[in-house]
Structure 1
Amino acid sequence: MDQALKLQRATYHLWTFTISKLISTFGAQVYAFGISFYILQLTGSATSFALNLICNLLPRALIAPVVGYAADNYSRKTIIISAQIGTTFAIGGLLFVSLTSGLSLIAIYITTCLLSIASTFSTVTFTSSITGLIDEERIQKAMSLNQMSISFASIGSPAVGGLLYGVVSMPVFLIIFILASVLAVILESTMNFKLFSKKNEEQNKENGKEPIWASMKAGLVYLKKQEVIMTIIWISLLINFLFASFEVGYSYILIEKLKMSSEHFGFTEGAFAIGMLGMSIYFSMRKEVKFPLLVSKRGILMMGIILGSVSVPLIISMPYGVMFAYYAFVMFSFGSMVIIVNTPIQVMMQKKIDEEYKGRVFSILETMSIALMPLGMVIFGFLYDILPGQWILLGSSTILIIIVLILARPSVVKKAHPELANKKEISNEVSSAL
């Protein structure tokens, strides 16, 4: 295909990918909002609500290695479209149960597990396909637009979900999700996932497909040789564990300890999505970050400081209005830092990981990111019952900063970016990079 036509097609992929992700994410979040309210209204039990969260997390962690194998050995387009069709059928099944015998917790939990599996197939495979869909120069733009679609959905779905929940029935929620899923399937079916692919499929056919366990082992052997990527995976694992202190503690501190109203609490969470959106727009327009690991390291250090800053109103008394403004600013900053950390690293991994290993590497990253989250939530939930919240947050913040300074030490950063010759140059480049 002519290069100009390929670039034109890549532009189509860029926007189709973004719109597809926006539609499917928006539908999923509106559904999640409605189901959360339904479970709490039906049972009044936090345990029932937590079980639904576990039904979302656990299948993702268990299925991710199989998804990585599939993404590296089978048609990625077929996997993505099949996963989206699976999502449609899962919600269709729940709609059928709702109309015939009424919703039950068992039906909701089974559907959540099925949606989690389908979402993992779609997410890991789509992430592995970016370099086949988009030209190398616009990978950062693609990742930024993906984050923008998630941010838009995060901002809009609670408002739409809240409006609909008070007006329409649960079957209407399910029908909205089904329509969104069908539209996503139609858009994804028009995309050429091999447009820029460097994968040697002829050689793969000659050699035959490896058995699944041999393929996973090969993926791990490949990862062990990639010191920088292994560093990113370990940092991701430990960050997600330590940020469980934030996930568990933020709502508890603001609502129970500081008595913030639900409306103002919702605004602070909205500020997080706005921070993500604003920084995603910035990254979609600016040139590619030159030293991604360095920029992400600084971003994680800032996230550690922000994590500790959540505790300040517990230590220093503030008027209610000042406290609300403070937390809105903290969450806006936090959302911005998430994009500063994630986008450059995602672009770097897209370029550094060999095409034939992407599915397995991204699936390992998915598993590692999720693996310690449930454990972290249990541990920090217990700690918040016996220790003051400010010490938990400050302790987590300190440990996070120390871990990042050790794992992403200068020698590791220089391996990722050998062109950084001296400390003065590093300082100057970071300033220009941000």
Structure 2
Amino acid sequence: LMLLADFLRAFILIVVLLFLVKNELGFNKLLFLVFFLYSFTPLFETATASSLLHLTSDKYLPQATAIDSTSIAISNVIGAMLGGIFIAAIGFKGSIAVNILTYIVSFLFVSLIRKNLKSSSEQERESYINDIKNGFLYLKNEKKDILKLLLFFGILNIFVSPILMFIPIIVKFILAEQVKWLAIGETFFALGVLLGSFLMSFKKTIEGNIKILMLTIFSFSVSFLLTAYSKIPILTSFYLFISGLSISIGNVAIVSYFQSKIDNEYKGRFFSLVNAVVYSIMPLSFILNGFMLEHMEPKIIIILNSVFSLSLAFFGYFKFSSENS
């Protein structure tokens, strides 16, 4: 699946490049191609997450999960920086060509993995419908605590994910600053994500991960709330740094917990479900917050998101910490 995702993403970018060379890339074509380009990202991430245990061991699984998150954070930070540099140096077409090359390199590296990543039960596949049905029955009958956590995670994402769309809104409407502070704020946020993943790479067990998740939801909620009141750009950037740090630590904590609790034969299906929850709720949350922005001040919406996520932090701490400690 990782190879397929890399191949298809490289192919789509080649199509984009060909349209650019021929000056035939219209806005509708671009939207269509970008939609399909990003639809394969969950495929790659799901395959990666479900393969970690096969490539490591139970002992090193928490660190492997953190390193996986760290690599994503690094690619987000470095990728954003290099993207602007490449566009300025070799133009938009050249930067797309470089992007194609990165997917090809990724394809080659993944193809060098010689270890069999299939569990014994996956050698003989059932029908797709039965496969999905068994996956849900597995969670419902054997992993009810995980199913509850997954539902909690999905609801939480409604109030946490909007920070990605609110960073430019905070800069423009609350700080009333120039675009350079947008770049600074996003950089601080990304550095927080990077540092959080790095710090979690030193955690060797999943002990206390649920409490860590709830505490990071609390710290995120408070820092996000403070951005609604801050008029000092550098202070707001610090709050965004704490928000990114909290999201990263919480994400690694819950994913590594899931990694250790889900049986190998269900990992692929489970993380497909996790990604489906994340990637489906995010756009819905963006639409909801966008609709609210037409009728309410950004400050009020930030406060509402923060208060709801803070409420979930208290609920989750008392509901899940004792059950999963």
Scaled by the length of structure 1, the TM-score of the pair is 0.70
In 1, distance between residues paired with 2:60 and 2:103?
Answer: 27
Q: CA deviation at 1:101?
A: 4.2
| 1:288 alignment partner AA | T
Larger radius of gyration: 1
- Find out whether 1:280 has 2:197 as its counterpart: yes
- C-alpha displacement of 1:283: 2.0
Tell me the residue number matched to 1:264: 181
For residue 137 of structure 1, give the secondary structure of its aligned residue in structure 2: coil
1:112-131 mapped onto 2 (5 Å cutoff): 112-131=34-53
Distance 2:9 2:319 in 1: 45
Quick one: distance in 1 between partners of 2:89 and 2:24? 19
Q: Which whole-Å CA distance do the structure 2 matches of 1:187 and 1:172 have between them? A: 23
Shift of 1:133: 0.7
CA distance in 2, matches of 1:367, 1:242: 17
In the alignment, which residue of structure 2 is the partner of 1:175?
97
Which moved further from structure 2: 328-337 or 232-241? 232-241
How far did 1:350 drift?
Answer: 0.8
What's the Cα RMSD here? 2.1
Contact between 2:67 and 2:201, CA under 8 Å: does it hold in 1? yes
Which one of the candidate residues 81, 86, 108 is aligned to 2:8? 86
Q: Deviations over 1:377-406 (max 9, x none)?
A: 222222223223322222222222223333
Instruction: Write the distance in 2 (CA, Å) between the matches of 1:274 and 1:249.
Output: 17
Q: Which moved more, 1:154-163 or 1:84-93?
A: 154-163
2:288 aligned with 1:379: yes
Tell me, yes or no, if the aligned pair for 2:213 and 2:254 is still in contact at 8 Å. Answer: yes
- Does structure 2 retain, via aligned residues, the 8 Å contact 1:237–1:371? no
Aligned pairs (5 A) from 1:311-330: 311-313=228-230, 318=231, 323-330=232-239
**1:221 and 2:128 are equivalent in the alignment:** no
The aligned counterpart of 1:416 is: 324
CA distance in structure 1 between the aligned counterparts of 2:319 and 2:193, rounded to whole angstroms = 30
Q: Structure 1 residue 232 and structure 2 residue 149: aligned? A: yes
* AA aligned opposite 1:87: R
Q: Please tell me whether residue 212 in structure 1 is matched to residue 97 in structure 2.
A: no
Contact 2:62–2:203, Cα closer than 8 Å, also in 1: no
Q: Following the alignment from structure 1 to structure 2, what is the Cα–Cα distance between the partners of residues 169 and 188?
A: 29
AA of the residue aligned to 2:135: G
1:74-129 superposed Cα distances (whole Å, 9 cap, x missing partner): xxxxx211221122222122222222343222332232233223322211111111
Structure 1 residues 344, 193: CA separation in 2 closer, same or farther (over 3 Å shift)?
farther
The amino acid that maps onto 2:151 is: W
1:295-353, CA deviations, whole angstroms, 9 ceiling, x for partnerless residues?
1111112212122111112xxxx4xxxx1121121011111111220112111111100
The residue aligned with 2:113 is 191
Matched, 1:97 2:97: no
CA contact (8 A) 2:169 2:298 kept: no
Match of 1:200 among 112, 120, 143: 120
Q: CA deviation at 1:272?
A: 1.1
Opposite residue 292 of structure 2, the aligned amino acid is L
- Conserved in 1, the CA contact under 8 Å of 2:159 and 2:309? yes
Change (3 A) 1:344 1:253: closer
One-letter identity of the residue aligned with 2:188: A
Query: Is contact 2:66–2:252 with CA below 8 Å preserved after alignment?
Result: yes
1:111 and 2:19 correspond: no
Letter in 1 for 2:293: Y
Q: For residue 415 of structure 1, what is the amino acid of its counterpart?
A: E
How many Å apart are 1:289 and its aligned residue? 4.3
Following superposition, the deviation at residue 193 of structure 1 comes to 4.1
Distance in 1 between the 2:28 and 2:300 partners?
39
CA contact (8 A) 1:272 1:332 kept: yes
Cα contact 1:249–1:384 (8 A) shared by 2 = no
The CA deviation at 1:294 is 1.3
| Secondary structure class of the residue paired with 2:176 | coil
Tell me the number of residue pairs that the alignment of Structure 1 and Structure 2 aligns: 324
Separation in structure 1 between the aligned mates of residue 43 and residue 162 of structure 2, nearest angstrom: 29
Counterpart position of 1:309: 226
* Aligned equivalents of 1:84, 1:191: Cα separation in 2: 15
Identity of aligned residues (%): 19
| TM-score after normalising by structure 2 | 0.91
Take 1:131 and 1:190, find their aligned partners in 2: how far apart are those partners? 18
| 1:200–1:244 Cα change, 3 Å | closer
2:93 maps to a residue whose letter is P
Against the structure 1 CA distance between its residues 300 and 261, is the aligned structure 2 distance closer, same or farther, given a 3 Å change threshold? Answer: same
Task: In structure 2, give the amino acid aligned to 1:215.
Answer: D
Amino acid at match of 1:112: V
Shift of 1:368: 1.4
Describe the shift of the 1:117–1:394 C-alpha distance in structure 2 as closer, same or farther (beyond 3 A).
Answer: closer
Residue number in structure 2 paired with 1:158: 80
Contact conserved, 1:293 with 1:413, CA < 8 A, in 2? yes
Unaligned runs of 5+ in 1: 1-78, 418-434
Structure 2 residues without counterparts, runs of 5 or longer = none
CA positional deviation for 1:286? 4.2
How many Å apart are 1:157 and its aligned residue?
2.4
SS in 2 for 1:387: coil
What SS does structure 2 have at the residue aligned with 1:391? helix
In structure 2, the residue matched to 1:249 is 166
Is the contact between residue 87 and residue 181 of structure 1 (CA under 8 Å) also seen in structure 2?
yes
